[in-house]
Amino acid sequence: MRWVVGNWKMHTTPSEAKQLARQLWRLLKSACIGPEVGLRVVVCPPFTSLEAVRRVLARTRLEWGAQTCHEEVQGAYTGEISARMLSELGCTLVLVGHSERRRYAAETDERIAQKLFRVVEFGMHAVLCVGETWHERERGQTVTVLEQQLERGLAAVTQALWPQVLIAYEPVWAIGTGVTALPEQIAEAHTQIRQILHRLGAPESVPILYGGSVSAAAVSNIITQPEVHGVLVGGASLRSGEFNAIVRTVAAHRCS
């Protein structure tokens, strides 16, 4: 299975999200996508736009998910959203541990592990985001960072839960910068992640996505690298034409 996941971040009001979702489906309804052909396409709008997107995509082959959730099912956590709430909205996927959440919301690996467990507990797929900063890469700490984030973030995953887990390698230095990691850097990191997953007892089927300034121009070189099973798209997912091109490129590699 290959995946294309669009992270809309803090963009789109409900009316804007509704329009974007309609544009995406109009462009993608003829594409070779859907679980039955081995390519799942998911968009992750802000919480306030989820219902609007759900109404547009409910009877299409496009799926919708969320950008994060709280680690508790319910309680006195003002302003938070639980996995239980997202599940009832029809979300099929939730991002956990995105570098922007680690940085701006001070999320720890331990808290991320709890979130991941809640997501899979409610039947959704969890995308665990991992990646190093440029400073860490320059100091030769990439593997150490990946090992720590994966070991701690996946601490609550049992053998029965692995089918609901995805990994997204997002080098922090490439997110929102317009700089995409070189193909050999992507291949090296994804191979290292696979080796770490093997040590943790994960099956070979756990998908590893690449994220970090993914564009229509770069996606072909990304998706052909070893151990790359899809992409997590940021800014380009807000441009319907470019997201369509990204999905169709991945589909061409998967469905040819």
Active site residue ranges: 98, 170
Sign, Cα dihedral of 198, 146, 63, 67: positive
Phi, psi of 216 (to 5 degrees): -60, -35
Using the structure block, give the residue that is written with the tokens 């990191």. 189
Using the structure block, give the residue that is written with the tokens 């508790």. 72
Give strand pairing partners of 169: 130, 210
Which amino acid is residue 52, in one-letter code? Answer: A
Q: 126-148: buried (b, 16+ CB within 10 Å) or exposed (e) per residue? A: bbbbbbbbeebbeeeebeebbbe
Neighbour count for residue 44 (Cβ, 10 Å):
27
